[in-house]
Amino acid sequence: MPEDSQTISETVHAVAEGQLSSRQWVQACLDRIRDNEDIGSWSYVDEARSLERADHMDWLRKDGSALGPLHGCPIGLKDIIEVRGMPHGCGSPLMGQVSESNAVLVDALEAAGAVIMGKTETAEFAFLNPARTKNPHSPKYSPGGSSAGSAAAVASGDVPVAIGSQTNGSVIRPASYCGIYAMKPSAGIIPRIGVFEQSPTLDQIGLFATNLEDLGLVADALSVHDSRDPHSIATPRPFCLAGVQAEPPIEPNFAIMSLPYGQLQSRASKGGFSEVADALQGRVEILEAPPTFNQLIEVQRTIHLSEIFQAFDAMGLRGNSQLSAVLSKTLAEGESISSSQYEEALMARESLAAFFDNFFEDFDAILSPSSAGEAPLLSEGHTGSPIFCTIWTLAGLPALNLPVMQGEHGLPIGLQMIGRRRDDARLLRTARWFMTTLFDEGERQCFQNR
Amino acid sequence: MPEDSQTISETVHAVAEGQLSSRQWVQACLDRIRDNEDIGSWSYVDEARSLERADHMDWLRKDGSALGPLHGCPIGLKDIIEVRGMPHGCGSPLMGQVSESNAVLVDALEAAGAVIMGKTETAEFAFLNPARTKNPHSPKYSPGGSSAGSAAAVASGDVPVAIGSQTNGSVIRPASYCGIYAMKPSAGIIPRIGVFEQSPTLDQIGLFATNLEDLGLVADALSVHDSRDPHSIATPRPFCLAGVQAEPPIEPNFAIMSLPYGQLQSRASKGGFSEVADALQGRVEILEAPPTFNQLIEVQRTIHLSEIFQAFDAMGLRGNSQLSAVLSKTLAEGESISSSQYEEALMARESLAAFFDNFFEDFDAILSPSSAGEAPLLSEGHTGSPIFCTIWTLAGLPALNLPVMQGEHGLPIGLQMIGRRRDDARLLRTARWFMTTLFDEGERQCFQNR
């Protein structure tokens, strides 16, 4: 059974060498999933299929066939990602039919040798109504949302990696609350065909892992082009794993932007954040965000609500009594957005993307909190605010959660690092420099392994 | 402008270093295409789109974005492969509508940085009725079929690589006649979604190039999984480029099988073939094919004709007056095949696959002629016999054409090398050993570059 601190590449190497079988790896994960049942990370686990697939991966090894970068590696998928033969739950009683086809990203993972273990819990339709999942560090707290189960499954060691999605802050926020590493690659790197569509303009795929190298490894496996997805880029992909492994040619430069919602940041987060800024000394500049940034939260909201209304209208689910109150209310708000408001918001988003293309001429990365602070209590009935992710997601920038801070209740808080669009490899290179320069080996472990 | 003897990797490296722009590369190919217009290799060339794409690849380089293994590399596609915005000709007056989406393999090539130049001529619906294409080595002769244009375009230096398809012998045979390298990877390595379907059981994708390394490089770029294609394998792919570059751990073993149709082989081909066998000395064994092999040509025919009838029936084209005589006759024959004959043939194919899985325990590769001999005259009105490819294609084995022999009229004849299914990397490793051990550098050049 692999150590929690082992990277996926190390374990895959052990599988390739015959020191560990994929079956043992998968069985160990199935045991962990059962032990952690109370956390409620999974909506569906297919034991038989997972073991059969593991055996097949082991057979390929014995047969001398090609091995993949994720050979025999167990993976969890947010339950808005279709897998042939598995129920497509989407966190709603309205769904749950068995999928007839795979999402494109599932094919990509399987071609790399991964073992799809099952589906992880999601907030209702990847929006705001919480999943049943608890925070693995303290069961009274929320794991965040909407990719609650994926974050909790990785944080509790069920699987070394899980896939989520982010329309606003649904990857970076739960990673922050759960104390693990996460990456939301640039928009267009991972195709969304076969993933529940909430907002075609804003939906993006992300992933959770226990270290930066695993993020790079799995991001590369996911990085395929599908021209059916209008965002998917028809050009070469950044090589993320090489990014994690590279040394920056010169020490990187960071920016911290004073943002209109900065006052929402908790005291502990503020404290941790200034410690980091101090440690970076001359390598960080604090900038006032341009005044147009004040409208960006509203711009995101206009696009998001308008598109989520259109999506549910197209599915014929508008006004359905089995939708949560928060979603129903949102759909009503979305309906009231005029097409000119919507078009104007899309244009504002375009200029934001252009602004950032210039911005990253001068800086390697932006530093931001990943969330306002620690996870909210489950009893508060929400998944926490995504606002610290909104602008970067709106611009389609690649973002990482780095689990380096701690809050008033001893719960993790993440630091967010944001890079230039489609320059995901540089972001990972910068993050690795940042982590090895500022933190010792123990501090770089994700929260639960310290 | 790259030298004809340069590999794609070498030219891509020059593009990456700024010594050559993709625009120059593409423009040089467009010029060659115009110079070679008489050969009739292309059914559609999109100059504007090609140059625009080349400029985009050059811009990505200047911008410091990720570069791909085929960055800026011009590629031709057999006109049965859909490309959004290009007419889908299929070598028939019945087709020609502009495609609305890309074949999956097109997306894969573009994600690697390739520039799709246009479509190459194909025999009618990739079957037997010849394309207008001439053999680049002598215009009285056929280039073979059905991937006539792809083979001729590479043989005449229009593009360094082109994609074709093979249901029986439509890649290996034209490569043999045109004196270039070609590879038909194992069934299931390259997905067929978006490629005209003639026979779901037998259709396979292949590629043409001027050297083994380019075959490996491009095969890797094409090697993606798409679960919508029932043949597509959900497991890690062989790493073909690494195969070409590797040394075999021990000298490989070859088999030559005496096959029921051996008497069709031309005198020149027989002569060249025995020279090769002699040169391999103790490393080759000559085996009688098992008696069941006698029926295999008929088994292939039963599956092929039955499925081609079903395909045209489903398209509503059965009995259409614009189909060629040879195709109409074939459809009528296909209609007369009973479902029990068809099922029996599918079962025979399954046992063949099992036979070969065992066979390659003892041998690295099988040697076979690629075609009976030189190309037929155009005036004969056919594209030559595919029979020397039939059994290997039926079994889904990976096959290469090596342009090492010459016929009575000075035209090229290929040697075919066949490997274990899904062990394409080993086949390329073996082929590279074979070429460097038996032939000098000049002899290894493809026919037109000697």
pLDDT tens digits, B407-437? 999 999 999 999 999 999 999 999 999 999 9
Lookup: tokens for B244: 């070409």
> Could A225 and B101 be called an inter-chain contact, meaning their C-beta atoms sit closer than 8 Å?
no
The burial class, CB within 10 Å (0-12 / 13-18 / 19+), for A171 is: buried
- pLDDT band at B3; cut points 50, 70, 90: confident
> Could A235 and B108 be called an inter-chain contact, meaning their C-beta atoms sit closer than 8 Å?
no
Lookup: tokens for A166: 């982010």
> Could A111 and B236 be called an inter-chain contact, meaning their C-beta atoms sit closer than 8 Å?
yes
> Could B107 and A425 be called an inter-chain contact, meaning their C-beta atoms sit closer than 8 Å?
no
How close does chain B come to A339, measured CA to CA in Å? 27
Among residues B221, B137, B206, B199, which one has the least CA distance to residue B170? B206
Among residues B66, B81, B68, B74, which one has the least CA distance to residue B49? B74
Cα distances (Å, whole numbers) of residue B383 to B73, B182, B189, B392:
29, 17, 27, 19
Residue A57: list chain B partners with CB under 8 A: 235
Q: Which of A4-8, A65-69, A196-200, B419-423 has the lowest mean pLDDT?
A: A4-8
Q: Which CATH superfamily is domain A10-287+354-449 in?
A: Amidase signature (AS) domain (3.90.1300.10)
Query: If you write DSSP's letter for every residue of B370-434 in order, what string do you get?
Result: SSSSSPPBGGG-S----HHHHHHHHTT--EEEEEEEE-TTS-EEEEEEE--TT-HHHHHHHHHHH
How far apart CA A304 and CA A335 sit, in angstroms, is: 11
Chain centroid to CA A421: 16
Structural domain boundaries in chain A: 10-287+354-449
How close does chain A come to B10, measured CA to CA in Å? 18
Among residues A121, A46, A52, A33, which one has the least CA distance to residue A84? A46
Using the Cβ of B58 and the Cβ atoms of chain A, whether some distance falls under 8 Å is answered with: no
CB A383 within 8 A of CB A172: no
How close does chain B come to A108, measured CA to CA in Å? 6
User: How crowded is residue A379: how many other Cβ atoms within 10 Å of its Cβ?
Assistant: 8
Instruction: Please report, as a single letter, which amino acid is at residue B176.
Output: S
Residue A55: list chain B partners with CB under 8 A: none
Q: Which residue in chain B is spatially nearest to A56 when comparing CA positions?
A: B235
How close does chain A come to B157, measured CA to CA in Å? 25
How far apart CA B439 and CA B284 sit, in angstroms, is: 17
How close does chain B come to A281, measured CA to CA in Å? 28
Query: If you write DSSP's letter for every residue of A53-64 in order, what string do you get?
Result: HHHHHHHHHHTT
**Residue A4: predicted pLDDT:** 77
How many contacts (CB atoms, under 8 Å) link A and B? 103
Q: Which residue in chain A is spatially nearest to B114 when comparing CA positions?
A: A235
> Could B66 and A236 be called an inter-chain contact, meaning their C-beta atoms sit closer than 8 Å?
yes
Residues B445-449 have a mean pLDDT of: 81
Q: Is it true that domain B8-287+354-449 has CATH number 3.40.1110.10? A: no
Residue B108: list chain A partners with CB under 8 A: 224-225
Q: Which residue in chain B is spatially nearest to A361 when comparing CA positions?
A: B63
Asked whether the bond before B146 is cis by omega within 30 degrees of 0, the reply is: yes
Q: Which residue in chain B is spatially nearest to A190 when comparing CA positions?
A: B111
Q: Report percent pLDDT > 70 for chain B.
A: 100
How close does chain B come to A377, measured CA to CA in Å? 42
Coil, strand, or helix at residue A76? strand
**Residue A2: predicted pLDDT:** 78
Using the Cβ of A65 and the Cβ atoms of chain B, whether some distance falls under 8 Å is answered with: yes
* E strand segments, A260-390: 284-288, 365-369
Residue A239: list chain B partners with CB under 8 A: 66
Percentages of chain A per state (helix, strand, coil), in multiples of 5? 45, 15, 40
Among residues B187, B155, B90, B176, which one has the least CA distance to residue B396? B187
**Residue B2: predicted pLDDT:** 78
Smallest Cβ–Cβ distance between A65 and the set B60, B102, B422 belongs to: B422
How far apart CA B391 and CA B414 sit, in angstroms, is: 17
Instruction: Please report, as a single letter, which amino acid is at residue A349.
Output: R
Q: Which DSSP category does B184 fall into?
A: E
Among residues A35, A42, A29, which one has the least CA distance to residue A72? A29
Smallest Cβ–Cβ distance between A236 and the set B68, B84, B225 belongs to: B68
How close does chain A come to B53, measured CA to CA in Å? 10
**Residue B223: predicted pLDDT:** 97
> Could B237 and A60 be called an inter-chain contact, meaning their C-beta atoms sit closer than 8 Å?
no
**Residue A449: predicted pLDDT:** 74
Best of A235, A427, A428 to mutate (most B CBs within 10 Å, chain B): A235
Tell me the pLDDT tens digit for each residue of A323-353.
Answer: 999 999 999 999 999 999 999 999 999 999 9
- pLDDT band at A86; cut points 50, 70, 90: very high
Phi and psi, residue B380, nearest 5°: -75, -15
Best of B70, B71, B86, B107 to mutate (most A CBs within 10 Å, chain A): B107
**pLDDT value at B450 more than 90:** no
Lookup: tokens for B96: 């020609």
Residues 172 through 231 of chain A touching chain B, CB cutoff 8 Å: 224-228
Residues 99 through 138 of chain B touching chain A, CB cutoff 8 Å: 101-102, 104, 106-108, 110-113
How far apart CA A444 and CA B444 sit, in angstroms, is: 53
The upper half-sphere exposure of residue A184, i.e. CA atoms within 13 Å in the direction of its Cβ, equals 34
Residue B71: list chain A partners with CB under 8 A: 236
Tell me the pLDDT tens digit for each residue of A389-447.
Answer: 999 999 999 999 999 999 999 999 999 999 999 999 999 999 999 999 999 999 999 88
How close does chain A come to B51, measured CA to CA in Å? 15
Exposure string over A384-407, b if 16+ CB within 10 A, otherwise e? bbbbbbbbbbbbbbbbbbbbbbbb
Using the Cβ of B68 and the Cβ atoms of chain A, whether some distance falls under 8 Å is answered with: yes
Residues B351-364 have a mean pLDDT of: 93
Residues B348-376 have a mean pLDDT of: 95
> Could A236 and B111 be called an inter-chain contact, meaning their C-beta atoms sit closer than 8 Å?
yes
Tell me the pLDDT tens digit for each residue of B74-126.
Answer: 999 999 999 999 999 999 999 999 999 999 999 999 999 999 999 999 999 99
**pLDDT value at A124 more than 80:** yes
**Residue B412: predicted pLDDT:** 97
> Could A111 and B237 be called an inter-chain contact, meaning their C-beta atoms sit closer than 8 Å?
yes
Question: Cβ contacts of residue B241 below 8 Å, gap of 6+?
Answer: B213, B216, B217, B219, B220
Using the Cβ of B235 and the Cβ atoms of chain A, whether some distance falls under 8 Å is answered with: yes
User: How crowded is residue B220: how many other Cβ atoms within 10 Å of its Cβ?
Assistant: 25
- What is the average pLDDT score of chain B? 96
Q: Report percent pLDDT > 90 for chain A.
A: 94
**Residue B201: predicted pLDDT:** 98
Residue A68: list chain B partners with CB under 8 A: 235-237
Residue A113: list chain B partners with CB under 8 A: 235-236
How far apart CA A429 and CA A450 sit, in angstroms, is: 23
**Residue A5: predicted pLDDT:** 80
**Residue A423: predicted pLDDT:** 96
How close does chain B come to A249, measured CA to CA in Å? 14
How close does chain B come to A207, measured CA to CA in Å? 20
Smallest Cβ–Cβ distance between A66 and the set B101, B232, B239 belongs to: B239
Q: Which residue in chain A is spatially nearest to B223 when comparing CA positions?
A: A111
User: How crowded is residue B110: how many other Cβ atoms within 10 Å of its Cβ?
Assistant: 25
Residues 307 through 366 of chain A touching chain B, CB cutoff 8 Å: none
How close does chain A come to B69, measured CA to CA in Å? 8
Residue A112: list chain B partners with CB under 8 A: 236
Smallest Cβ–Cβ distance between B236 and the set A112, A228, A237 belongs to: A112
**pLDDT value at A196 more than 90:** yes
Tell me the pLDDT tens digit for each residue of A32-80.
Answer: 999 999 999 999 999 999 999 999 999 999 999 999 999 999 999 999 9
